[in-house]
Amino acid sequence: MAANVRDVLREAEEHLDRHNTKMPRHDALLLLSAVMGQRVETLLAHPELHVPTHDLSTYWEWLQKRARNYPLQYLTGRQEFFGRSFVVSPSVLIPRPETETVVQACLDFLTTLERPATVLDIGTGSGCIALTLLCEVSNLTACAVDTSREALQVAMQNSHNLNCSDRLELLQGSTVDPLLIGTSRRFDLAVSNPPYVARADSVEPEVEHEPGQAVFAGQDGLQVYSEIFSKTACVLASTGRLILEAGFGQAEKIARLGKENGWHEMERRPDLAGIDRCLVLHHIGTAGPTQ
């Protein structure tokens, strides 16, 4: 069996190509880099490097999984988001580049506040939204909620890695439910990238490996938005904003659903592909638990 970087990469690329992996060279290289604990640049500059036998056997296990559309990020355990590296596991959605549009909208709002602010991240998953905001805004504190205990453990690990754990509170439950027990907290900003695929819709083969509760939401994909719209006003300051990610073609439906629940759409932002991805909303009713 081949044992230097050049030959191993060639065989790996051919294997992935035969299984119709979209970016065989890219994936072969990133996986080898992760297995060997070497930078991609090092592997490219030193194709003569020896690949140790134990790395080789892990590498071929990973390649076989990758050839069956298992996400690369679950193999390497990492995903870049807003310039930082996040730990990911099969318990969490892999952070997507389009979610950076949502983070930017949050940052633009937070910079208008000239005081220490608080943010609530609903459906935090890996924690990528809340933790990016904490890293970018030094006087911010955050509360992050998720129904998944395993996801919260990943978010906690990321909060330690990014030195933000002292400003992040993690709560298990649905949308804002854990905040409704015995407290009257008000956040300056609530943000969410909820699951938004309709239960009957088909998804890319890689997405089938991501947690169902992070991807699917009822018959029309709007189930968690509905819950957020009906419950979030009572934990938001009267001047607060709700910033939501929208799935492809969903922005209008979400805005309408929001309006029915007393939310006024202030802004809609496209992602880099020009898809309406982010809604900024303000609650126009009087703040209170019965809104």
Binding site for ligand SAM (CB under 6 A): 92-93, 95, 99, 122-126, 128-129, 145-148, 151, 174-175, 193-195, 213-214, 224, 227
CB of 146 to ligand SAM, least distance (A): 5
Q: How far is CA 114 from CA 111, 133, 135, 185, in A?
A: 7, 16, 17, 19
Nearer to ligand SAM, 66 or 277 (CB): 277
Nearer to ligand SAM, 33 or 148 (CB): 148
Nearer to ligand SAM, 21 or 158 (CB): 158
Report how far residue 279's alpha carbon sits from residue 144's, in angstroms, rounded to the nearest whole number: 19
CB of 58 to ligand SAM, least distance (A): 27
CB of 268 to ligand SAM, least distance (A): 18
Nearer to ligand SAM, 49 or 215 (CB): 215
CB of 131 to ligand SAM, least distance (A): 10
Q: How far is CA 154 from CA 89, 132, 164, in A?
A: 7, 15, 14
Q: Which residues pair with 120 in a beta bridge?
A: 143, 190
CB of 127 to ligand SAM, least distance (A): 7
Burial 151-181 (b: 16+ CB within 10 A, else e): bbebbebbbeebebbebbbbbeeebbebbee
Nearer to ligand SAM, 51 or 142 (CB): 142
